[in-house]
Chains A and B, each alone.
Chain A
């Protein structure tokens, strides 16, 4: 059995891994793990990742969790072009800096924005207090400002003149609030221009393919009682 990638394209980090693998023509078996159906709790999947999260990688007997670790593993093993994770000491440090910062910053606010604006009211039929949503969107706005001011600045991409894994991780995050109807690129021309560059560098078709699931999330029929019960813990996390 060759490389297997356990993904649900509903998830931002899964999209980054998917795009990276496809773009670099890395041969893999896609193992879809449907989060809304709770497939991340199956006995089979727990063998792959006891943390019960996606993405997860299985390469022979070697299993790996955490999208950042997976991206770097793939970049190294398949000798992806240098710009994805540059050899240059300072250029690489910039990518590392972004990949570290995003865990507790952009990632959190994008996840909350998507769930609070779309998944809780639409899919789970759960009311989100307006103040909660307003705070979340304000925090998202602060993160977007930081993304522009600290990382992007006047560069073409987040860590320099060429696309890197940092851009993949960031763009897939931003598509989360976009899918919920947050017009985050409106009134942010710098960020909008960066988005165009990233989509062009990735390829429009691949970008669209990776985002098909999340862009249709708003059309999901309301969850049944069983699903709502099972997803209750998520409410604690994302509210």
Chain B
């Protein structure tokens, strides 16, 4: 059995990995783990990842979690073009800096925006107060300001003149609130221009393919009560 990637394209980090693997023609078996059907909670999947999360990589006996670790592993093992994670000391530091910052900043805010605006009310039938949603969107706005002001600035891509892992991780994050109907690029021409460049570098067809699921998030079927009961506490812990 070759490389297996356990993914649900509903998930931001899964999209980044999917795009990266496809773009670099890395051969893999896609193992879809449908989060909205609770497949991540199955006994079978627990054998792969006892933490019950996606994405997961399985390469023979080697199992790896954490999207950043997976992206770096793939980049190294498959010797992808240098710009994805440059050899240059300062250039790779810039990518590391973004990949570290995003966990508790943009990632968190994009996740909360999707769940507070769409997934909690639509999928889990859990109302979210307007104040909570407003606070979340305000935090997202601040993170977008940092993304533009500290990371992008006047560069073509987040960490330099070429696309890197940082851009993949960031763009897939931003498609989360976009999928929820938030117009994150409106009034942000710099960011909108960067998005165009990233999509062009990735390839429009691949980009659209990776984002088909999230763009239909608001059409999610409500979870049945048993699944809701199992998922709700985990979701609340995930988005805290």
Contacts and interface: CB of A to CB of B under 8 A. Distances in A.
Contacts of B39: none
A68 B67 contact: no
Q: Could you say which of B62, B67, B96 has the most chain A C-beta atoms within 10 Å of its C-beta?
A: B96
A60 B189 CA distance: 33
B101 A65 contact: yes
B155 interface: no
Given A100-B66, A101-B66, A68 B100 contact: yes
Contacts of B93: 62, 64, 69, 72-73
A51 interface: yes
A188 interface: no
A50 B150 contact: yes
B146 A51 contact: yes
Nearest to A59: B90
Nearest to B149: A50
B72 A96 contact: yes
A31 interface: no
A102 B150 CA distance: 23
B235 interface: no
Contacts of A73: 89-90, 93, 96
Contact of A96 (B50, B68, B77, B108): B68
B65 interface: yes
A69 B97 contact: yes
Nearest to B77: A89
Contacts of B101: 51, 65-66
Q: Could you say which of B51, B92, B103, B146 has the most chain A C-beta atoms within 10 Å of its C-beta?
A: B103
Nearest to A68: B100
A204 interface: no
Contacts of A100: 66-69, 99, 103
A76 B93 CA distance: 10
A97 B96 contact: no
Contact-residue size bin, chain B (C-beta under 8 Å from the other chain): 20 to 34
B104 A150 contact: no
Contact of B104 (A69, A101, A103): A103
Contacts of B65: 97, 101
B29 to A, nearest CB: 19
Contact of B96 (A72, A103, A108): A72
Contacts of A68: 96, 99-100
Interface residues of A, number: 28
A150 B96 contact: no
Interface in A89-106: 89-90, 92-93, 96-97, 99-101, 103-104
B64 interface: yes
A100 B65 CA distance: 9
Contacts of A67: 100
A127 interface: no
Given A90-B62, A103-B103, A103-B104, A66 B97 contact: yes
B97 A65 contact: yes
Interface string B62-98: 1011111100110011000000000001101100110
Contacts of A66: 96-97, 100-101
Interface string B42-62: 000000001100000000001
Interface of B: 50-51, 62, 64-69, 72-73, 76-77, 89-90, 92-93, 96-97, 99-101, 103-104, 108, 146, 149-150
Given A89-B77, A100-B103, 6 more contacts: A65-B101, A76-B89, A90-B62, A96-B73, A97-B69, A150-B50
In the complex, the 5 A-B pairs of residues with the closest C-beta atoms, listed nearest first: A69-B96, A96-B69, A103-B103, A66-B100, A100-B66
Interface of A: 50-51, 62, 64-69, 72-73, 76-77, 89-90, 92-93, 96-97, 99-101, 103-104, 108, 146, 149-150
29 contacts: A51-B101, A51-B150, A62-B90, A65-B97, A66-B96, A68-B100, A69-B93, A69-B96, A69-B97, A69-B100, A76-B89, A76-B92, A77-B89, A89-B76, A92-B72, A93-B69, A96-B66, A96-B69, A97-B65, A97-B66, A97-B69, A99-B68, A99-B69, A100-B103, A103-B100, A103-B104, A104-B108, A149-B50, A150-B50
